[in-house]
Structure 1
Amino acid sequence: MSLMQNLPPASSIDRTDDPATYDARDLIRNGIQAHIVLDGQTYTLRITRTGKLILTK
């Protein structure tokens, strides 16, 4: 089961000034990369060897 399946639809999320906070390592469980989908477009989030994040389409 992916993390995205656990999230409510974007239209039902309350908009507040307090943004959600996630630890990148929780999103990237295999230690390499995670796919993030937004409006049907898939993005890849990965952690580099030096501990930086890269998000690509």
Structure 2
Amino acid sequence: MSTLARKKLPIGIQTFADIIEGGYYYVDKAPLIHRLVEEARQRWAWGIVVALCSL
């Protein structure tokens, strides 16, 4: 049975360099942020259409 080395969670670590050099887990959240922004933009645009239609 092989044992995998467990990485540490970067709790309280503020810089990318410290995360990488310290061997911490790193999760790239850029795609998630992009999706959230796009969904918010669509909701905002739809809200304007609804508001204009109710005039």
Higher relative helix content: 2
- TM > 0.5 fold call: no
User: Which TM-score tier does this pair reach, normalised by the shorter chain?
Assistant: under 0.3
Higher relative strand content: 1
The structure with higher relative contact order (CA 8 Å, sep 6+) is 2
Normalised by the length of structure 2, the TM-score is 0.22
